[in-house]
Amino acid sequence: MSEVKIDELIAKGSFDCECGKHHSPKVKKAIIEHGAINKIVDVLKEYNGTKVFVLDDKNTHEAAGKQVIEVLKNANFPYTLYTINVDRIEPDEHAIGSIMLHYDSSCDIMLTVGSGVLNDLGKIVTETAHMPYVIFGTAPSMDGYASGTSSVVRDGLKVSVNSHCPDVVIGDLDILQKSPMRMIQSGLGDMIAKYISIAEWKISKIINDEYYCKTISDLIVTALEKCVKNADGIANRESDAVKAVMEGMVLSGVAANYAEVSRPVSGMEHYFSHVWDMRMVEFGTIADFHGIQCGIGTLDCLKVYDEIKKIKPNKEKALAYAKSFDYEAWQKVLRENLGAGAEQMIKNEAKEQKYNVELHAKRLEKIIAHWDEIIEIINTLPSYEWLSKVFDSVGAPKTVEEISVTKEAERMAFLITKDIRDKYIGSKLLWDLGELDEVCDKVFPL
């Protein structure tokens, strides 16, 4: 697939796809260029804004918020500013409530200055307030800029909820290039994670007849390849490299909007990050940027899939493993490691029934019948060694020790990934094969 121009893709609007779905990008405009901050007022007026509610935090206020306010002042454009003054914002009920209590009802459009968590919160607020929404990105750090969902912590569990996709995404390269290197690395990590998510999407199509779209898959792969191609320039904050990552972040959101689910952009690698985030909320452990954790999770997943390639499915072994699985004992493990967040997972399993022996037997038949096809997909994944060199070229962390996560927490996160969502991922495939514990011991020894 040829290189995708983001403005042309969005301008294309909605269309009927060969996959049978009607795709909509949801986001109406993306402006990613030098000096984009100077287009803010024109954008606000284009969406009939007369007074804007500006949201930032103490970090993004220094990075860009002050400049945004100056632009509004110079244009005599009315605004109300709310700066969240905490060291780390959690995307939970408390943060949403705080914004709503500071919200100015005389505003008719919202502008968030920030990235991941702030954008997720802004999307939820504007969904509730039914108003146009503009996100001014301060770092190319995550793939949720243009998505219609928000990743939040609800009742202790990291969940994805429907929210208002931004009408416009603005990324000023002059500001993005100056963002903390860790956040640029995070964006690259979130893009690199797509190697796993796309492969698992294809595998689930085979095993579960899950909806799959080649158009969406190709879009993701093209954006991913562009990011990797420009990775060497990230260490020097080169404009083309930073732009490739930011565009990849936006295109990922568009792809998720096309699919109407997050399946194309997140898989087992993301669930490592979700587990560590949930443990931070519950137990106060250390967690890093989402994309940094996803990058490490991707490297871990490549090790796992290297082991899966060595497996020859054994029907009797797999059936015996599923029959002997003690789900009550596993619930106890979930509660010990995740606290309150485990309860929603347990409720989810009551619906998903992945541990049901009859449903397992049906999946196993498909796995065995299509094993060669599954291995063919796994063989398209990059090697651990090659991807490790990409990480080295940008100075990104590659191991859990570098982000203060213990080896035990890494091992447990792998085992828990199968319980986070109802997506079919590598750890579920291993459970179905009766090989989960053996592969865990090989890849994550204590």
Cα–Cα distance list, 47 to 41, 73, 228 (Å): 10, 19, 35
3-class SS of residue 277:
helix
Read off φ and ψ for residue 440, nearest 5 degrees: -60, -45
Number of neighbouring beta carbons within 10 Å of residue 282? 17
Q: Report pLDDT for 2.
A: 61
Q: Report pLDDT for 263.
A: 94
Spatial separation of the C-alpha atoms in residues 114 and 134, rounded to whole Å? 11
Rounded to the nearest angstrom, the gap between the alpha carbon of residue 260 and the centroid of all alpha carbons in its chain is 14
Q: Report pLDDT for 1.
A: 54
- Reading the chain (446 residues) residue by residue, the pLDDT tens digits are 567 789 899 999 999 999 999 999 999 999 999 999 999 999 999 999 999 999 999 999 999 999 999 999 999 999 999 999 988 887 888 899 999 999 999 999 999 999 989 999 999 999 999 999 999 999 999 888 998 888 777 877 677 788 999 999 999 999 999 999 999 999 999 999 999 999 999 999 999 999 999 999 999 999 999 999 999 999 999 999 999 999 999 999 999 999 999 999 999 999 999 999 999 989 999 999 999 999 999 999 999 999 999 999 999 999 999 999 999 999 999 999 999 889 989 999 999 999 999 999 999 999 999 999 999 999 999 999 999 999 999 999 999 999 999 999 999 999 999 999 999 999 999 999 999 999 999 999 98
Spatial separation of the C-alpha atoms in residues 241 and 13, rounded to whole Å? 27
Spatial separation of the C-alpha atoms in residues 282 and 17, rounded to whole Å? 43
**What SS3 string covers 55-113?**
EEEHHHHHHHHHHHHHHHHHCCCCEEEEEECCCCCCCCHHHHHHHHHHCCCCCCEEEEE
| Cβ contacts of 406-409, under 8 Å, gap ≥ 24 | 407/444, 407/446, 408/446, 409/275, 409/276, 409/279, 409/285
Q: Report pLDDT for 341.
A: 87
Residue with tokens 């243009």: 146
- Would you mind telling me the total number of residues written for the chain in this entry? 446
